[in-house]
Amino acid sequence: VSKPSCVLAFDLGASSGRAIVGRLDSEAGIVTIEEIHRFSNDPVKVGNHLYWDILRLFHELKQGILQMKHLGYTDIESLAIDSWAVDFGLLAANGELLGNPYHYRDHQTDHVMDKVIDLVGRENLYAKTGLQFLQFNSIFQLYALKERNPELLQRADTFLMIPDLLRYFLTGEKHSEYTNSTTTQLFNATTQTWDMELIDQLGLPGELLLNPVSSGTRVGALTKEICDELDVPSIPVIAVGEHDTASAVVAVPALEEDFAFLSCGTWSLLGTETLAPVLSEQALAWNFTNEGGVYGTNRLLKNIMGLWLIQECKRTWDKEGKNISFAELVKLAEQVKPFQSFIDPDDDMFLNPEHMPKQIQQYCRETDQIVPQTEGEIARCMLESLALKYRFILERTEQLSGKKYQGLHIVGGGIQNELLCQFTSNATQREVWAGPVEGSALGNLVVQWISLGYIANLREARKLIRNSFPVKTYLPQDGAGWQAAYAAFCQVASRSTVK
Ligand code: ADP
Ligand code: LRH
């Protein structure tokens, strides 16, 4: 009887991080997971800038490793990290971190995108990178730094994305991982290398960039210093699909070849997997993105503002001493009248406002709608609008891919919001298949097992996940009501130009 294999995943979302041990019983074809550590990820504002607390995050990784030891996991075969995309740290030549990595919602990139587009051209940038225009892509962050803080770039020797950086802290080795590199908007989707022409044209320091390793590559092991500090044996480290969305899509338990997915957390990432980037005029006009996936896959998708809206309302209300949990908010939303007012979740005004509830109200006022007043009314407005936006993007995904999807797979923390899952089924008038909740962590785990030789390929990995975790099916309800709501939503959103 072969022994189960245990590996450790660190999955860092924009709202929280977790350490999860996965156990693979190859004979039974079953994966089980244990969350051994969870921590909040709290960005820190200093002066006018917003940063990630990178050293705190590294501390939490160490806590996860300690917890692994305390729980008696003595046979962890490897570990890996995945996190949100686009953000990075800069190292000096001596290997020390220069400054704190900026949060992608920092205002340093406001208005920078237009400048860069003026310089290199929108069509050209899209044809090269295939990436959607989001004001915080690494390209715009680097350009903002070049203008605002050139000394920092001059001192820098190496550019590392967040998981690359944390992995460097763990192993002492510097490597760029492929999936995350593709989110910078500096990576050429066709040549599959850094686009040096683009980088030179913008005067960005291309010499800081490392050639990416492909996802699934072994990239060192815990340093001796860390092993001594934590009193653990050295563990091999693997660069999985380190972009959390890449890992989330690995974990979509789809048995069919063509499927649509929604990775639902701080962001809602909705789209499909394709064999090659879709760089059509229509894809550009609709601002869809092509991100590199593991094992040669491409993710054609669109960012939707997602549960950030809810998180920010909750954070504001918590500050006011109301302390409403996510589950309570959902209950409050359930109790109020449906279809009162809608927002376009992707209006720029929701990217990082001071006061999200007031911003929602402001949007409704400006668009001559009923202004939601209570927490429940505001939450309902956001949840209905998100579900309607999912329909909008799902239909565009179908048009771009030329495929029809019978239903929508949803993975991620957001599936704990069952009202949103039901709304999504109603809005799209299709089945919704929700699960697993720990999508990114599972994608991280199975890619480790593929690298270690326990799982043959991506297809087998998805089958294994399908057999190991429950998927909840939601059936569409109230077609007429939601159809009318969709018409009203499109009308409102077109005023803020539906993106
Ligand atoms: P990220 O990885 O981006 O940090 P997650 O995938 O962890 O995000 O999802 C976090 C979101 O899940 C929260 O913003 C919240 O809206 C939702 N959520 C978490 N727990 C619950 C719950 N018990 N009920 C409803 N929603 C929940
Ligand atoms: C989701 C995510 C998404 C990116 C955003 C910055 O966590 O990685 O894919 O667009 O964060």
Q: Which of 15, 83, 245 to mutate to test the pocket of ligand 2 (most atoms within 8 A of CB)?
A: 245
Beta bridge partners of 161: 88
Tens digit of pLDDT for each residue in 325-351?
A: 999 999 999 999 999 999 999 999 999
Q: Residue 497 above 80 pLDDT? A: no
Paired tokens of 459: 């297809």
Tens digit of pLDDT for each residue in 221-241?
A: 999 999 999 999 999 999 999
Tens digit of pLDDT for each residue in 284-321?
A: 999 999 999 999 999 999 999 999 999 999 999 999 99
Percentage of the chain beyond pLDDT 90 is 98
Angle between helical axes of 308-319 and 375-401 (0-180°, round to 10): 160
Q: Which of 183, 167, 185 is CA-nearest to residue 175?
A: 167
Q: Which atom of ligand 2 is nearest to the CA of 267?
A: 1
CA distances from 276 to 191, 283, 299, 401, 420 (A): 12, 13, 9, 11, 31
When pLDDT is averaged across residues 7-15 and rounded to a whole number, the result is: 98
Is 360 within 8 Å of 309 (Cβ atoms)? Answer: yes
Q: What is the C-alpha separation between 442 and 77, in angstroms, rounded? A: 16
pLDDT for the residue 495: 77
Tens digit of pLDDT for each residue in 262-273?
A: 999 999 999 999
Q: Which of 244, 344, 346, 347 is catalytic?
A: 244
The pairing of beta strand 5-12 with beta strand 76-83: parallel
Q: Residue 1 above 90 pLDDT? A: no
Q: Residue 499 above 60 pLDDT? A: no
Banded pLDDT at 2 (limits 50, 70, 90): confident
Angle at 365 between CA 347 and CA 373, to 5 degrees: 100
**Model pTM greater than 0.90?**
yes
Tens digit of pLDDT for each residue in 448-458?
A: 999 999 999 99
User: How far is ligand 1, taken at its centre, from the CA of residue 415, in Å?
Assistant: 8
Tens digit of pLDDT for each residue in 161-204?
A: 999 999 999 999 999 999 999 999 999 999 999 999 999 999 99
Angle between helical axes of 356-366 and 308-319 (0-180°, round to 10): 120
Is 474 within 8 Å of 421 (Cβ atoms)? Answer: yes
pLDDT for the residue 407: 98
Q: What phi and psi values does residue 250 have, to the nearest 5 degrees?
A: -55, -35
Tens digit of pLDDT for each residue in 386-400?
A: 999 999 999 999 999
Tens digit of pLDDT for each residue in 118-171?
A: 999 999 999 999 999 999 999 999 999 999 999 999 999 999 999 999 999 999
Q: Residue 324 above 60 pLDDT? A: yes
Instruction: Kindly provide the b/e burial profile for residues 366-383, where b requires at least 16 CB atoms within 10 angstroms of the residue's own CB.
Output: ebebebbeebbbbbbbbb
Q: Which of 84, 138, 243, 268 to mutate to test the pocket of ligand 2 (most atoms within 8 A of CB)?
A: 84
Q: Residue 498 above 60 pLDDT? A: no
Q: Residue 93 above 90 pLDDT? A: yes
pLDDT for the residue 307: 98
- Mean pLDDT, all residues of the chain: 97
Sole residue written with tokens 């785990």: 445
pLDDT for the residue 458: 97
Q: What phi and psi values does residue 100 have, to the nearest 5 degrees?
A: -95, 135
Residue with CA closest to ligand 2 atom 7: 84
For residue 326 and ligand 1, the question of a CB distance below 6 A is answered with: yes
Residues with CB under 6 A from ligand 2: 13-14, 84-86, 104, 243-245, 265-267, 269, 303
The pairing of beta strand 88-91 with beta strand 97-98: antiparallel
Tens digit of pLDDT for each residue in 206-224?
A: 999 999 999 999 999 999 9
CA distances from 313 to 248, 305, 374, 386 (A): 25, 13, 12, 15
Q: What is the C-alpha separation between 49 and 138, in angstroms, rounded? A: 16
Q: What is the C-alpha separation between 410 and 434, in angstroms, rounded? A: 5
